[in-house]
Chain A
Amino acid sequence: MSKQLIIDTATKYIYLSLVVDNKEVESVYQQGDNNHSVTIIPLLDELLQKANLSLQELDEVIVGIGPGSYTGVRIGVTVAKMIGYLNQIRVRTISSLALIASASDQRYVIPYVDARRGNAFVTCLKQENNMLSFVTEESLENLEQYLKQFDFEYELIEEGKPNVKKILASNLLEDVGDIHELKPNYLRITEAERNKNGN
């Protein structure tokens, strides 16, 4: 029996899912109030109890590594990193934008996470026979400008409960070799570093 935990906290929503033998047995997808840090462990505890599982029984953790809210994504990645490290189990990462996109059934999907002042972390994915793949690289863009480049029909999507089957079947999951190296995908260096580099 394979037991997987999926975590994503890069958006306004917190997503936790327990998957046993490729079937989602318990999950939570709920809007937070800048409080993923408070809710993540109580929610995880509740989920494990409902499924009658313990962290130590897990075989794998899959974590959304952004891009998205810097503080938000660090919470999920910290939790995944610690679980992987303590129990010496495999950890795989996935784009938090791909997780959002998996909620859609459209051929072309543009998931985004608001980054204020009209900007967003955004990308375009395509799905054929339920297989998700990236059309464009993830980037931080002015959303309105960004969307002008597409001359095909797409669904613009900001939220949606991830589709576990699609995620697990995709080739978008990346193995974390050394758990100590796991960190979020911020997409950008910090403002202080940009200023120092003179950009």
Chain B
Amino acid sequence: MYVLGVETSCDETSVSVTKDGKEVLSNVVLSQIDIHKEYGGVVPEIASREHIKGITYVFDQAMKDAKIEYKDLDLIAVTQGPGLIGSLLIGVNAAKVISLNYHIPIIGVHHITGHIYASNIEHDFEFPLIALVVSGGHTELILMKEHFSFEKLGETQDDAVGEAYDKVARVLGLPYPGGPVVDRLAKQGVEEYQFPRPMIDSDDFNFSFSGLKSHVINLNHNMQQRNEEVHVENFCRSFQEAVTDVLVAKTIKAKDHYQVKQIVVAGGVAANSGLRQKMKERITDIPVYFPSMKYCTDNAAMISVAGYYKYQKEQKYDDFMLNGSGRLDINEGE
């Protein structure tokens, strides 16, 4: 089964063709990151304008790379949300045109299910499993008992972890996007400052990062007021240790509680080297899988693969009323 994947939920225009939910025949990603960098974050209207500029080019390249023709596709999977609404609508409408033009069925996919299924490209899922979803917009622990079944165990009560990274980076005067920069500098520092580990012992699977973020920002501010030198590398290291301690501790708690066979880490922050290392060090009884870097950030291969499994589970398609949705619960995407 050949599945065309389309992803335009944020600042990457991406199209991919996968076969049988496993083999990635193409995965073209047109990133706008250099454009948004100048604004210190993604500007929604600029993102939409860039998507429409690049959309046909990305489709064309993905089909050429996959060496396949549109008429030979079996299914179109498109991100319907959550994300930037103006951006989502371009992918959704482009996908619907292909569906109408070639009479190929279409299915809407929840962006986060895509991130989770990115892991299944390189490793087969074994159920039950826990997915830790960490990105600029999400921090969630999800239990999967079978394919395309998602039970949210807990989530952040305020900032997403990637958001906290970006804000801390901004305060330290580091460029956008902050996550990779903080991660890189953290490797050169030591844990000099003792930062709080919010909710690490709480009785649930929820997270909170705004208190930690404020603590870090206030300390930086106070030190500058006192003319004390802020050691940026140590600051990054201390922040990263605090964040990853919480993420790993909660994941272990969920693992033990639900007796799972596998952990998968999904989303942009899955690229964080500190998180990767700590997870592998502290969880040794069952496999912990991280997608390779190219499948961590937004890409259409993961949407294509998630669409394949969604169809296998539900055996039904969407109709042409399918629309983008800025906010979307993961269970609506089931």
Contact = CB atoms under 8 A, between A and B. Distances in A.
Interface of A: 35, 37-38, 40-42, 44-45, 55-56, 70-71, 74-75, 77-79, 81-83, 85-87, 179-180, 182-184, 186, 190-193, 196
A45 B100 contact: yes
Nearest to B53: A183
Contacts of B99: 41
A56 B97 CA distance: 11
Interface stretch (B56-64, B115-123, B262-270, B273-281): B56-64
A71 B86 contact: yes
Interface of B: 38-39, 43, 45-46, 48-49, 52-53, 55-57, 59-60, 70, 85-86, 89-90, 92-94, 96-102, 319-321, 323-324
Contacts of A38: 321, 323
A163 to B, nearest CB: 26
A41 B321 CA distance: 8
A159 to B, nearest CB: 23
Contacts of B93: 37, 40-41, 75, 78-79, 82
10 contacts: A37-B89, A37-B324, A38-B323, A42-B319, A42-B321, A71-B85, A74-B90, A78-B52, A78-B93, A183-B53
B39 A86 contact: no
Nearest to A54: B101
A85 B60 contact: yes
Contacts, number: 94
B101 A86 contact: yes
Contacts of B96: 41
Contacts of B38: 196
A44 B49 contact: no
Question: Which 7 residue pairs are nearest across A and B when measured between Cβ atoms?
Answer: A82-B97, A85-B56, A41-B320, A192-B43, A41-B96, A190-B45, A42-B320
Contacts of A42: 319-321
B101 A78 contact: no
A69 to B, nearest CB: 11
Given A78-B93, A78-B94, A70 B52 contact: no
Contacts of B56: 81-82, 85, 179-180, 182
Contacts of B85: 71
B112 to A, nearest CB: 22
Do most interface residues of chain B lie in helix, strand or loop, or is the interface mixed? Answer: helix
Contact of B97 (A79, A180, A183): A79
B231 to A, nearest CB: 32
B90 A45 contact: no
Given A38-B321, A87-B101, 11 more contacts: A37-B89, A41-B99, A70-B86, A78-B55, A78-B94, A81-B56, A82-B56, A82-B93, A85-B59, A180-B60, A192-B43
A86 B89 contact: no
A82 B98 contact: yes
B87 to A, nearest CB: 10
B81 to A, nearest CB: 12
Contacts of B86: 70-71, 74
Contacts of A81: 52, 55-56, 94
Contacts of B89: 37, 71, 74-75, 78
Contact of B45 (A41, A70, A77, A85): A70
Given A71-B89, A78-B52, A81-B56, A190 B43 contact: yes
A186 B85 CA distance: 18
B97 A191 contact: no
A179 B60 CA distance: 11
A167 to B, nearest CB: 23
Contacts of A79: 93, 97
A18 to B, nearest CB: 14
Contacts of A190: 43, 45-46, 49
Contacts of B57: 180
A192 B46 contact: yes
Contact of B49 (A45, A186, A191): A186
A71 B48 contact: yes
B86 to A, nearest CB: 5
Q: Which of A87, A180, A184, A186 has the most CB of B within 10 A?
A: A180
A115 to B, nearest CB: 14
A42 B70 CA distance: 21
A56 B70 CA distance: 12
